[in-house]
Structures are given as C-alpha cells and as structure tokens.
C-alpha cells in the first residue's frame, strides 16, 4: 500500500510536500517525495489535500472515567475528587466504566490518537480495550487507600499477570500517587516494572497540598484524606517530591510523571538528571485552576515533556491535538508548532517506552498514521495543524485503516 499526500510529516525530519508513505503489513517500508519514485498508478492511494503525520500518542488518560463526562464542574482537585468518588460509587459501575473505556478508545482514534497510555483503577479496562484496534499501554493502578485491589504489591503482581498482552496491548504499572501508596509499595511497583521490562507512570507533584504533605506532613490535605492516611499508616517522608521519588526509584528505570504542576528550581536539576518524562495535561490543569504550569522551566532544564488529556471527567475531549492547540494559543511562551507536534507523537511514545516502534514516520517503524486536512500550498503545514485542529479524514494502526 502506497499512500500519497499533499504533505508527509515524519516528525524526525522536515515535512515533505507531495510525499508518500509505503506500508507493507504493519510497517513503514519507504517514504519520501513522490516525484523521486516511479509508481504504478493503481498501487497508489491518493489521499488528496492532507497532512500525513504519525498517529498521535496520548500517554496519560483514564478512559473508564468517560462516563462521568460533563458531570463534574471545574473545581480544585480535592473537591472534584470527592464528587468523583461519589459518582463512581453508584450502582452499575463496572459495566458503565468498561463501556466508557471502549467508547473512549474509539473517540481517541477519531481524533487521530493511535496510542493511549490508559490507567484503570481495578484493572477492568484492558478487556474492552483489547477489542478496539488502538495501540495501548494498559496501566494497572496500585492504590493502597482504595477499597478494591490492587492495593499492595501482591495484588498488583497478580493483576498485572492477568492482563493478556498482544501486539497492540502492553501492560504497564502505575502506583497512583505518593499520598495514596506508601513508599515501600511504590518501590515494589517500580521494581516490578523493571523486572518485567514494562513501562510505569505515576501522578506526581500534582497539587500544592501534596507537595506540602511530602515536605512537612498532612495538615494541608483535606480531612477525608487525612483520615484514610492515618488508617493505612501512610506518613510524610519529610522530603521534597523529587528527592523522595529518587529514593523510591532506586534500581528502577525512568518513567512517566503525570502533571508535575509544582516544582522549585532546586528540584528541576534532580528531575532532569533522573530522566523521567513529564506528562503535562494542559486543559485538565486549567480545569483544576492550578497556577501556570512550569513547562518553560522544565524545557529549559532539559526535562522531556509530553502532553496528555487526563480523563473526560476533567476535560472536553481525548484529542492531544486539542491539548497542543491549547498550549499554543493560551499558554505564555509556548513551544513552536513543530515542537508541539513532536510532544504529542514521539515524546509521548517515549513516555510509554514505545519510541522504537511508533511516534515518527521512519522505515521499520509501525504504520500508525493519521491524515489531517492540509493543502499543498500551506506555507507551514504543522503550524496550520496546531493552529486550526480538525478531525482526521483517515487513521491507520499497524497498517490497518481503522477510521
Ligand atoms: Zn490522571
């Protein structure tokens, strides 16, 4: 199959006007300018005025929460969390959240997102997601404060073992956050990821109350959480967040840190040296009313940053292109459109441990592609894509057209 497009944007090399991508089976076997190749016309699918880019990657979402879309108003994190817990407690939860996971995967594909890093609280999302032709890292969440497993390292290990991987499904490990999982369990979770050679992610430095808890103690956390911490014996390490993370990570590989909304300059260097990728969720960040994200400082310090959507319970869509547009138009000192495209493709793939397979158009990589509207006379097709996001006209995963 040879796909011809007004623009081919490999991400790792400059955009090609009037380009092609040749796919054999699930892989890219050639690409370049169309005039440098003699092509028998029937072998070519002319996609017309489109910009062909690598399938977008959303490294941080909770698809199962999509059934609560529009049910929760913008609010500080803790107020939102209490409401969410109440909504999730209503009868029929497993069925509606499984359906939401599947619906969210299809919505992602329709937005050109061909790979998601999805976190499931009770490890229920991987089954419905297995039936959707999207690439996914299904993160099994460890949450010690929860009523249901996995709550400790043994329960985590058996939940991870239950996930049936396939060429599109990789299992991942996600200790929820430093205020919901005790340090030895975080260490055990990251060691398990290392032992299995699978990616890990966690929520880190998301709120100022969390940072205060890690540094000093729980007094700024909401009452319901303080009670739970006391019951489960989770105490403050009395360390800055990144120093605490370094201790939890001993012997483990770098992973993905969702949010990092709060970090001081001294901790930036430590984070850069540790090699973790930060997943900034711009519209969720706005929804929760945090002060400006340290994105410019993170980038200056050399910390890799990618963009995620978080869940539909705190966002309007599952499109990382919409996130890039939000950053480009609403955040001071934004990265360039080309950098933003890289953040929602290759850098997202890196955060999920899949950068050798997806995230750019290169010979030998998986043929995960998305075709967005774009005319050949566009001066900069990437700038146009980020400035005016539109739904893709076609999407492929592993060489198969899926929308
Ligand atoms: Zn999250």
Instruction: Give tens-digit pLDDT for 344-385.
Output: 999 999 999 999 999 999 999 999 999 999 999 999 999 999
* Position 22 pLDDT exceeds 90: yes
Mean pLDDT of all residues in 168-190 = 97
Report how far ligand 1's centroid is from the alpha carbon of 15 (Å). Answer: 33
Rounded to an integer, the average pLDDT of 67-91 is 95
pLDDT digits (tens, 9 = 90+) for 318-327: 999 999 999 9
Give me ligand 1 centre to Cα 203, in Å: 6
Q: Which of 351, 376, 391 lies at the terminal end of a domain, its last residue?
A: 351
Residue 392 is part of a domain; what is its CATH number?
2.30.40.10
Q: How far is the CA of 257 from the centre of ligand 1 (A)?
A: 10
Do 97 and 144 share a domain, yes or no? Answer: yes
Distance 47 CA to ligand 1 centre (A): 36
DSSP secondary structure, 36-56, as one string: GS---GGGEEE--SEEEEEPE
CB-based burial, 209-238: b 16+ in 10 Å, e otherwise: bbbbbbeeebeebbeebbebbeeeebebbe
Residues 178 and 296 in one domain: yes
Q: Which domain holds residue 121?
A: 56-351
- DSSP tag of 218: G
Q: 83-110 pLDDT, tens per residue?
A: 999 999 999 999 999 999 999 999 999 9
Strands ordered across the beta sheet of 305-307: 201-204, 256-259, 277-280, 305-307
Give the integer Cα–Cα distance in Å for 243 and 6. Answer: 49
Q: How far is the CA of 261 from the centre of ligand 1 (A)?
A: 12
Output the CA 83–ligand 1 centroid distance in Å.
16
Tell me how many domains the chain contains. Answer: 2
pLDDT at site 258 = 98
39 falls in which pLDDT band (50, 70, 90)? low
Whole-number Å distance between alpha carbons of 403 and 174 = 30
Indicate if 191 and 99 belong to the same structural domain. yes
Residues 30 and 154 in one domain: no
Is the same domain home to 13 and 110? Answer: no
Distance 201 CA to ligand 1 centre (A): 10
Write the CATH number for 160: 3.20.20.140
* One domain, residues 224 and 326: yes
Cα(46) to centroid(ligand 1), Å: 39
- State the average pLDDT over residues 254-273: 96
Residues 204 and 289 in one domain: yes
pLDDT tops 70 at residue 279: yes
Output the CA 284–ligand 1 centroid distance in Å: 9
Q: What integer is the mean pLDDT of 184-202?
A: 97
- Judgement on whether residues 121 and 232 belong to the same structural domain of the protein: yes
Instruction: Calculate how far, in angstroms, residue 250's C-alpha sits from the geometric centre of ligand 1.
Output: 24
Mean pLDDT of the region 291-296:
96
Is 42 in the same domain as 66? Answer: no
Decide if 173 contacts 192 (C-beta within 8 A).
yes
Q: Write the burial class of residue 186 (CB in 10 Å: 0-12 exposed, 13-18 middle, 19+ buried).
A: buried
Rounded mean pLDDT of the chain?
A: 96
Q: How far is the CA of 81 from the centre of ligand 1 (A)?
A: 11
User: Model pTM?
Assistant: 0.97
In the reported structure, the alpha carbon of residue 360 is separated from the centroid of ligand 1 by a whole-number distance in angstroms of: 25
Asked if residue 112 and residue 28 are part of one domain, the reply reads no
Centroid of ligand 1 to alpha carbon of 259 (angstroms): 8
Distance (Å, whole) CA 205 – CA 243: 12
Same domain, 265 and 394: no
pLDDT in tens, 117-168: 999 999 999 999 999 999 999 999 999 999 899 999 999 999 999 999 999 9
Same domain, 168 and 178: yes
Q: Compute, in angstroms, the gap from residue 314 CA to the centroid of ligand 1.
A: 10
Pairing of strands 27-33, 16-24: antiparallel
Split at pLDDT 50, 70, 90, the class of 44 is confident
């Amino acid at each position: 199959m040879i796909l011809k497009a007004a623009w081919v944007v490999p991400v790792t090399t400059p955009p090609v006007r009037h380009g092609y991508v040749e796919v054999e089976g699930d892989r890219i076997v050639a690409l370049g300018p169309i005039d440098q190749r003699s092509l028998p016309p029937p072998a070519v699918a002319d996609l017309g005025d489109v910009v062909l880019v690598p399938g977008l990657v959303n490294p941080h979402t909770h698809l199962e929460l999509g059934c609560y879309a529009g049910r929760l108003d913008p609010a500080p994190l803790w107020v939102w969390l209490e409401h969410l817990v109440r909504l999730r407690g209503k009868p029929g939860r497993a069925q509606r959240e499984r359906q939401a996971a599947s619906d969210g995967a299809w919505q992602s594909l329709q937005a050109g997102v061909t790979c998601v890093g999805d976190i499931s609280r009770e490890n229920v999302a991987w089954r419905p997601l297995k039936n959707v032709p999207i690439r996914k890292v299904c993160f099994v969440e460890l949450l010690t404060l929860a009523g249901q497993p996995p709550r400790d390292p043994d329960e985590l290990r058996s939940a991870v073992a239950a996930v049936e991987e396939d060429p599109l499904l990789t299992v991942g490990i996600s200790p929820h956050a430093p205020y919901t999982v005790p340090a030895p369990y975080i260490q055990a979770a990251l060691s398990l990821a290392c032992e299995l050679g699978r990616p890990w992610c966690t929520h880190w430095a998301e709120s100022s109350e969390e940072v205060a808890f890690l540094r000093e103690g729980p007094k700024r956390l909401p009452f319901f959480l303080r009670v739970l911490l006391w019951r489960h014996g989770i105490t403050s390490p009395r360390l800055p967040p990144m120093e605490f993370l370094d201790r939890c990570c001993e012997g483990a590989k770098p992973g993905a840190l969702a949010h990092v909304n709060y970090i001081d300059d001294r901790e930036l260097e430590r984070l850069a040296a540790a090699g973790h990728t930060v997943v900034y969720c711009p519209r969720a960040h706005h929804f929760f009313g945090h002060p400006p994200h340290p994105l410019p400082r993170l980038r200056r310090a050399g910390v890799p940053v990618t963009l995620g959507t978080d869940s539909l319970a705190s966002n309007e869509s599952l499109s990382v292109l919409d996130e890039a547009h939000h950053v480009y138009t609403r955040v001071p000192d934004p990265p360039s459109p080309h950098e933003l495209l890289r953040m929602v493709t290759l850098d997202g793939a890196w955060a999920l441990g899949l950068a050798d397979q997806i995230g750019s158009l290169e010979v030998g990589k998986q043929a995960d592609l998305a075709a967005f509207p774009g005319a050949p006379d566009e001066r900069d097709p990437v700038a146009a894509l980020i400035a005016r996001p539109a739904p893709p006209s076609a999407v492929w995963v592993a060489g198969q057209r899926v929308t």
